[in-house]
Amino acid sequence: MRILVTGGMGAVGRPTVEWLMGHGHTVRVLDLSVDEPIPGAECREGDITDFASLSDHMQDMQGVVHLAAFPHPSMAPPQRIFQVNDGGTFNVFQAAIDANKRGDAEIRRIVCAGSINALGYNFGVVFPEDQIRYFPIDEQHPTYTTDPYSFSKRTIEEIGGYFWRREGLSSLFLRYPAIYDLNTDEPSMLLDFVEGARQQTAAVMSLPEQERQARIAEIIADFKRRARGREWEKAFDWSFPDAHIMLGRSNFWTCLDVRDAAQAAEKGLLADYAGSHPVYVTQADNFIGLPSRELAEAFFPDVTTWKKPVTGTQSLVSIEKIRELIGFEPVYPFKSR
C-alpha cells in the first residue's frame, strides 16, 4: 500500500514508518522538519495546518497514518493545540477526500493517533471524584476532558465520525497509552516512567494492609490536589515523591511497545471494516505485573463495578474492541531496556 504518514519523524512516527516499509509498504512522510530523513521513505517537509499544500502530499496515496500533533498539553497555548491537533486533522481528512474525488488518490482509510487521554483522566484538572465508573474501561466509558490536549484527542474522533457520515471514509482512532521504543539508545522519559512506576507501585503494594491503605489514600489525595491545581497539564515533573506512582495509576498501568503501536496502525489500514472507531490499544497485561483486580481495589477503592471479569494481570483497559475490529493482538509485553 502507498501510505502517507504525517508526523513521521516523531517518536512514534519514525518506528512506525520503518515498520510499514519493513512490511512491504511504500511510505511518504510529511513533517514540519525532515532534517534526518528516514532511508527508504520519501520525506517531505510540510505543515498539516497549511491546507492548500496537502493536496500535493495526498497524490497517489492509498492510506494515511495521521500522527502529527502536539502530544502534550504543555507544548503550546490551547488555541494552537486545537489548531494543529483538530484543525490539522480536519485538513488531512478533507484533503484526502478532495484528492480521491479528483482521481489523484485512492484513500480508503485513515488511521489516526488518538490517545488514552481522550478519557480525560490523566491530565484532567476537574475530573469528578466518581468519574471512573467501572473496570475494565472500554470505549463506552464516558469521557470528561478538561485540558487542551485530551480535549483535542477526544474531538478528533468526532471529525472521523463526520467524514464517515458525510463521505463514507472509514477511520480508526488508536487511543494509545504511553509508548516506548526499546530500539533506540536515546533516553526515554516514558520508559523511565514505566520502570519507576513499576518499582514504586510494587513497593507500596507490598506494605502491610493498614499501612498500605493509608499510604495510597495519601497518594490519591495528593494526586487530586495537584489535579485541582492543574499541575498535570504542565510539563512533566518527575522530581516530587510519588509522581511515578500517581501517573501509573492515572494511566491504569497501561503502556505499549512502539512496534505494537505500528502494528496496530498497519492493521488499521488493512483490515476490512466500515465506520469510524475510537479504540483503546494497549498491552494485554498491566505493566506492574501484579493482579489487576488487587491494584484496582487498592488504588481505585471507590470503583466497585466490574463490567467484565478481569483475570490475573489482564489490562484494566479493555482491548476487546480492537481485537474484534482489526484482529490486533499485542506481541511485545513490557520489557526493561
Ligand X SMILES: NC(=O)c1ccc[n+]([C@@H]2O[C@H](COP(=O)([O-])OP(=O)(O)OC[C@H]3O[C@@H](n4cnc5c(N)ncnc54)[C@H](O)[C@@H]3O)[C@@H](O)[C@H]2O)c1
* Cell (9 digits) for 89: 486533522
| Rounded CA separation 231/184 (Å) | 30
Cβ(252)–Cβ(225) below 8 Å: no
Give me the least distance between CB of 277 and ligand X, in Å please. 16
Q: Is 136 one of the binding residues for ligand X (CB under 6 A)?
A: no
* Cα–Cα separations (whole angstroms), residue 203 to 126, 215, 217, 226, 296: 29, 11, 15, 22, 16
> For the purposes of burial, counting CB atoms within 10 Å of the CB of 299, is it exposed (0-12), middle (13-18) or buried (19 or more)?
buried
Give me the least distance between CB of 285 and ligand X, in Å please. 18
> For the purposes of burial, counting CB atoms within 10 Å of the CB of 335, is it exposed (0-12), middle (13-18) or buried (19 or more)?
exposed
- Choose the binding region for ligand X from 122-130, 135-143, 175-183, 272-280 (rule: CB under 6 A): 175-183
Q: Is 88 one of the binding residues for ligand X (CB under 6 A)?
A: yes
CB nearer ligand X, residue 3 or residue 216: 3
Give me the least distance between CB of 68 and ligand X, in Å please. 3
Residue 43: how many other CB atoms lie within 10 Å:
21
Q: Is 47 one of the binding residues for ligand X (CB under 6 A)?
A: yes
Out of 61, 69, 125, 194, point to the residue binding ligand X (CB under 6 A).
69
CB nearer ligand X, residue 137 or residue 216: 137
DSSP 84: I
3-state secondary structure of 28: strand
| Rounded CA separation 282/49 (Å) | 29
Q: Is 262 one of the binding residues for ligand X (CB under 6 A)?
A: no
Give me the least distance between CB of 206 and ligand X, in Å please. 28
CB nearer ligand X, residue 10 or residue 216: 10
Out of 3, 10, 296, 321, point to the residue binding ligand X (CB under 6 A).
10
Out of 3, 48, 105, 246, point to the residue binding ligand X (CB under 6 A).
48
- Choose the binding region for ligand X from 65-73, 205-213, 215-223, 225-233 (rule: CB under 6 A): 65-73
Q: Is 176 one of the binding residues for ligand X (CB under 6 A)?
A: yes
* Angle of helix 243-250 versus helix 189-205 axis, rounded to 10: 100
CB nearer ligand X, residue 179 or residue 322: 179
Q: Is 11 one of the binding residues for ligand X (CB under 6 A)?
A: yes
Out of 9, 65, 132, 316, point to the residue binding ligand X (CB under 6 A).
9
Q: Which of 118, 12, 104 is nearest to 58 (CA)?
A: 104
Applying CB under 6 A, the site for ligand X has a residue count of: 25
CB nearer ligand X, residue 269 or residue 298: 269
Q: Which of 152, 167, 149, 53 is nearest to 110 (CA)?
A: 167
The residues binding ligand X (CB under 6 A) are 6-7, 9-13, 30-32, 47-49, 67-69, 71, 84, 88, 113, 115, 176, 178-179, 190
